[in-house]
Structure formats: structure tokens, C-alpha cells
Structure 1
Amino acid sequence: MKTCDSAFNVACSECNLRQLCMPSGLDAAQMRQIESLVKSKRHIKRGQTLFANGMPFQALFAIRSGAFKTCVFNAQGHEQVFGFQIAGELLGLDGFVSNRHCCDAIALEDAQVCVMPIQELQTVSEEIPALASHLHRIMSAEIVRERGLLLLLGGMRAEERLAAFLIHMTERLAARGFSSAQLMLRMSRQDIGSCLGLQIETVSRAFGKLVEQGLIALDKRHVTIVDAQGLKSLAQLA
């Protein structure tokens, strides 16, 4: 059996998340080029910041394990959460705008990331058009996800926002080979509330209403989707 460290050190070509980080159909030479991009792999402890608002944009980070939140802090120290990122997704795309990061990325649990220096990534993307297209698709998906979040905040009741959030999270997990009916919330109720524009007490009440309606079962941070169709209908996603 592989240990966590040995699994972390496998090549890109052997990684079970490779289809999410890189395009399909690459030949052996192209795969070696892309593997050469990963200059280092980092372990990030829970609560540690991977990059911070205002830092120079030097790399993209592919999440191998764990989860992160992206957020900003105002002058008074108030935190606004923008979103959550899970294994198989890229962090750092915000840096393309001004060559500096415009948010903080904070680990919600112990995590592992692959570091891809941006200058070398851009060079290889010019040589492998499929990689450039893949990055464009990832960025487009990020824009669509952010637009979906804005829709969540545009007049939905609290339980509707929470239902949509749970559906989006389980769909993202399912795309990465995880269960679409089981969800372990790595983020706090406060983080969820900040992301959805709700007070923490409102988030707790919304969870209670979803349980009362028989849509989910809840055991601390473990969520079981009992009625996926009903949850989608409530979130106006059916």
C-alpha cells in the first residue's frame, strides 16, 4: 500500500487527477514536458496561507489533496469568503488579472499542492496548444461558477441558497470520482455564511429546515443527500 507521501510523489502521468489538471490525448513527449512544469510539491497545514492578497503571481497550484477557501480581509479585519476549492482544481487563476493575487488562499485541512511556475507554464502552453485550451476551459468554468454564486445571492431564501451550495459541491465532488450523495463539509458554518451572504445563525437554521423537509441528513459536518431531486427543485436547479 502506498503511503500519503509516496502517493504525493507519483508522476503526473500516474496521478488519478491528471484528467482534471491537464488535457487528454497527450503523447509521451508532451506528457514529459508538462511533468517538467511541476517544480515542487508542497504540504500546506490546516489554517496556513498558500498565497495572500497582493503577493506577486508566480505560479498556479494544482490541489492534490485537501481543500482551500479563497477570501479577502477588509481594513477592519472582516473576512469575506469567495469560494472553496477541492482536489483536482487549480488555485491562483486570480493572478492573471494584474500579475498579483487578489485574494488569500487558506487551507481548510492539511493539503498537498503541485507548484507550476507561471512563466514556464506559459512557455509550454505555446508549444502545446491543447494545454492552453485546457487552461482557458478551466478559467471559463471558474467564471461560470462565480456567476452561479452571484445568482445564489440574488434573492433566494436562506435554505434555497444552502440547497444550491450543497448541490454544486456534490456535483464537483462527483466529477472527481467521489460520492454525489455524501459530503464532508471541510469549511465552517461561518465560512459558508460568508460565502452565501448569510449570518452563521441563519446557516444553522437553514440546515435544520433542509433536515426537517427530508432533503438531507446531518451528522455534525457530514451531510447525506437524501432527496437530490427535491434539493435541486428547492434551489431552482431542476
Structure 2
Amino acid sequence: MSDVAVCSVVSHKFVPAQGMPVPGQVPASARAPRNDALRCTACSMRAICMPQGLTSDELKRMESLICPSRTIKQGETIYRANDSFQNIYAVRAGSFKTVVMHRDGGEQVTGFHLAGDSLGFDGVSSGHHSCDAVALEDSKVCIIPFHLLEAMCREVKAVQQHLHRMMGGEIVRESSQMMLLGTMSAEQRVATFLLNLSDRLRMRGYSPTEFHLRMTREEIGSYLGIKLETVSRMLSRFQRDGLVDIRGKDIRILDHEGLVRV
């Protein structure tokens, strides 16, 4: 299964700042190593989003093609459906949702993305993005020009393997989501969502038992294919059964094995 206020898609679009790469241009960051405090070697998410086994020179080269992180305000988009695909985005801090808009204007949440996750792969096949990527809170992303990443993949096997793993992860995420929507009861969907979020937070060094939901219950319901009222009812049932303790958006898992058995 995939990744994690009332936040609707708004018209704010992330506009590249001065100095950000455009197709066919090599950014200044790719011509000289960065000396700022946001180098990948100092990032707490490095083990998740950076290739392992790089030499010192390869790591410096990898750092040089990543643009310095940009802040995306809550409710703003990094990209929108049908925008031209140019970059991959690594979430450095904060969280995002990806959404598809229905013809009637309704919103379908397709994923929640935490620090260490990547965004933008939906544009690789067609050259245009197929969804909107919206910040659930004030967040930071690092921008990786895809044409520069492809060039490095041809020369550094570890980078190529890491890119393949990330793309493979997207395939697994989508197939897991189809299984969740097609075979699980509403109760199982909500339990699986909490367990998955707990596991992802644990991998990032955060508490797997106590966390704050950045998404609304309506957004969770959209992602899980159930109604807002059903999400609230399932959470209340879990609390009544002693599986979780809920205070608004603050969740504390009391019985992990009990959730697994749901």
C-alpha cells in the first residue's frame, strides 16, 4: 500500500524561481558544488531518497545536479495535471497529496507522500503530468531535472539502479492500492492505512505509535474509496475496541497486533 487542512486544489502553481533549470539548460548548481547547509550529506532523508554505495566524487556530482530546496506553502501545487514534465521532486520536509479531478469537479486522492518520497514520475511516460501534487502543510522539496538525472544514470550504475527501484516502487504502490480497493472491507482499509503510515514513519526515524494526521478524514476516505462518515465510524470503533486512542488528528496506536488482525 502507498504512502500519507481541509485542503482543496487551488490555482496556485509552483513557479520556478530565478536560476531554476529549464529544458536544455544546465543550472548553476550543476556546474559547481553547493556550499549551503542543505547538502544531501546533511539531510536526514538521505538514506531513503539517495542511492547507496556512491563514491565521494559520485556523491558530489549527484548533489550538484539537485537544485536547492524550495518551500511550497500549504495548498500550493508543485505541478498540475497536463503540465509539461521536466523534474522529479524529492520531499525534504512536510507532506503532499496527489489528486485527480473528475469531470464533475470532484477530487480523487491517489496518494499521500511524506519526507523522503519522490513526486513526478507520473509524467515520465507521456511527457505531461497526470495529476496535481498539493502540499498538505508548508513543505520543502528538492528539484531534480530529469534530463540531468538520465544522463547520470548512463554513467553511474548505482544511480540507475536507484531510479529503477523508485519506479518499481510506484508500480507496487499502484497495484497495492488496487488490491486495497478491490478486496478489503472498509474496516480493513482504515486499519491498513494506519499500519502503513505507522511503518513509513518508523522507517524515517519517527514514532510509529504516535503521530499527527496531516490529511483530513474526507481526504482519507477519498484515498480509500469510502465515505467520510465511514472513516469516522471505523476510527471510533477502533478507539472503542482499545486499538487506538484518537484526539482530533492525533493518533496513538495502542494495539498494533489488534489492528493487524482486523
Q: 2:48 aligns with which of 20, 25, 46?
A: 20
- Once residues 172 and 226 of structure 2 are traced to their aligned partners in structure 1, the CA distance between those partners, rounded to angstroms, is 22
Give the corresponding residue for 2:215: 187
Cα offset for 1:156?
2.2
Contact kept, 8 Å, 1:55 with 1:100, in 2: the verdict is yes
Q: Which runs of 5+ in 1 are unaligned?
A: 1-7
- Once residues 118 and 96 of structure 1 are traced to their aligned partners in structure 2, the CA distance between those partners, rounded to angstroms, is 9
Contact kept, 8 Å, 2:210 with 2:250, in 1: the verdict is yes
Give the corresponding residue for 2:97: 69
Secondary structure, counterpart of 2:98 in structure 1: strand
Give the corresponding residue for 1:80: 108
Amino acid at match of 2:201: L
Give the corresponding residue for 2:166: 138
- Once residues 152 and 162 of structure 1 are traced to their aligned partners in structure 2, the CA distance between those partners, rounded to angstroms, is 10
- Which consecutive segments of 4 or more residues in structure 1 shift more than 3 A? none
TM-score (norm 2): 0.84
Amino acid at match of 1:150: M
Task: Output the aligned Cα RMSD.
Answer: 1.2
Cα offset for 1:210?
0.9
- Once residues 192 and 212 of structure 1 are traced to their aligned partners in structure 2, the CA distance between those partners, rounded to angstroms, is 20
Amino acid at match of 2:115: A
- Once residues 148 and 167 of structure 2 are traced to their aligned partners in structure 1, the CA distance between those partners, rounded to angstroms, is 18
Deviation digits for residues 31-76 of structure 1 (CA, Å, limit 9, x no counterpart): 1110011123210000001110001111000101000000111222
Deviation digits for residues 65-112 of structure 1 (CA, Å, limit 9, x no counterpart): 000000111222100000100001101111112111110000000000
Contact kept, 8 Å, 2:38 with 2:69, in 1: the verdict is no
Contact kept, 8 Å, 2:100 with 2:132, in 1: the verdict is yes
Secondary structure, counterpart of 2:149 in structure 1: helix
- Once residues 39 and 214 of structure 1 are traced to their aligned partners in structure 2, the CA distance between those partners, rounded to angstroms, is 46
Contact kept, 8 Å, 2:38 with 2:68, in 1: the verdict is no
Determine which structure has greater relative contact order: mean sequence separation of CA pairs < 8 Å that are 6+ residues apart, divided by chain length. Answer: 2
- Once residues 220 and 143 of structure 1 are traced to their aligned partners in structure 2, the CA distance between those partners, rounded to angstroms, is 33
Give the corresponding residue for 1:177: 205
Q: Which moved more, 1:108-117 or 1:22-31?
A: 22-31
- Once residues 46 and 255 of structure 2 are traced to their aligned partners in structure 1, the CA distance between those partners, rounded to angstroms, is 32
Q: Which runs of 5+ in 2 are unaligned?
A: 1-35
| Identity level (%) | 43
Secondary structure, counterpart of 1:43 in structure 2: strand
Secondary structure, counterpart of 2:172 in structure 1: helix
- Once residues 200 and 118 of structure 2 are traced to their aligned partners in structure 1, the CA distance between those partners, rounded to angstroms, is 13
Cα offset for 1:126?
1.1
Alignment length (residue pairs): 227
- Once residues 116 and 127 of structure 1 are traced to their aligned partners in structure 2, the CA distance between those partners, rounded to angstroms, is 17
Contact kept, 8 Å, 1:159 with 1:210, in 2: the verdict is no
